[in-house]
Copies of this chain bind each other. A is one copy, B any other.
Amino acid sequence: MSVKRESENWLPSTSYVVLGLLSFGTRLTGYEIRQWALESTRFFWAAPAMSQIYRELERLQTRGLVDERDDSGEHDRARKTFGLTPSGLAELQRWVNGAPFEPPTIRHAAAFRLFVGHVGDRARLIELVEEHQAWASEMLTDLGQIHDDLRAGTAAGDDTFRYAEMVAQWGLTFYGGDEQASNDALARLEDDR
């Protein structure tokens, strides 16, 4: 008995980042999408370059997944907003529910450089791990703030960001692990010899 598969043509993930950000109900400019990406999705999905977002929006629009509107208003300032169309929402849903599992992709420069530590200077390695630790710690601070804000909203009865809050919680544990790992490595590097 064979299962009839629906056509499994997926858009590039960046498309779903854009669709996902628009799925919260607000019309956004390309610029704003980028801002939101830098403040939210970047914790689990590296924010694409500005130019890439414009390209993505163009693609999505030609496929009817987003619609464009000139929102320049009174002022002359150019302002083109994009919103999710019904097909856009449908496509996002199809992906969330239908796309096969995909393992995370990690490019962890600090761990990598430590890996080839036998060709490096110990003092410099310590410096690098310290920098990484500081970075992780900053991520945790930012995420903590976001998590608190989202929690407040959820507690006040607004369910829009309930999943976002769960993801923020995920991030706190995730980056907490990374920070812990940096600290352990640092202790070993400083202990050593």
Contacts and interface: CB of A to CB of B under 8 A. Distances in A.
Interface of A: 13, 16-17, 20, 23, 40-41, 43-46, 89, 92-93, 96-97, 99, 101-121, 124-125, 128, 131-132, 135, 159-160, 162-164, 166-167, 169-171, 173-178, 180-182, 184-185, 188-189
A109 B117 contact: no
A11 B119 CA distance: 17
A135 B105 CA distance: 12
B181 A180 contact: no
A170 B115 CA distance: 10
State the oligomeric state as a number of copies: 2
A10 to B, nearest CB: 11
A132 B184 contact: no
Contacts of A20: 112, 115-116
The SS class assigned to the A binding surface is helix
Contacts of A124: 96-97
A109 B102 contact: yes
22 contacts: A13-B107, A17-B112, A20-B112, A20-B115, A41-B115, A43-B111, A45-B106, A45-B112, A46-B106, A89-B119, A96-B113, A96-B117, A102-B109, A105-B106, A106-B106, A118-B160, A166-B189, A169-B185, A169-B188, A174-B177, A176-B177, A177-B177
Nearest to A163: B117
Nearest to A102: B109
B173 A181 contact: yes
A111 B181 contact: no
Given A166-B114, A180-B173, A185-B170, A135 B96 contact: no
Contacts of A110: 101, 104
A120 B102 CA distance: 17
Contacts of A115: 20, 40-41, 44, 163-164, 167
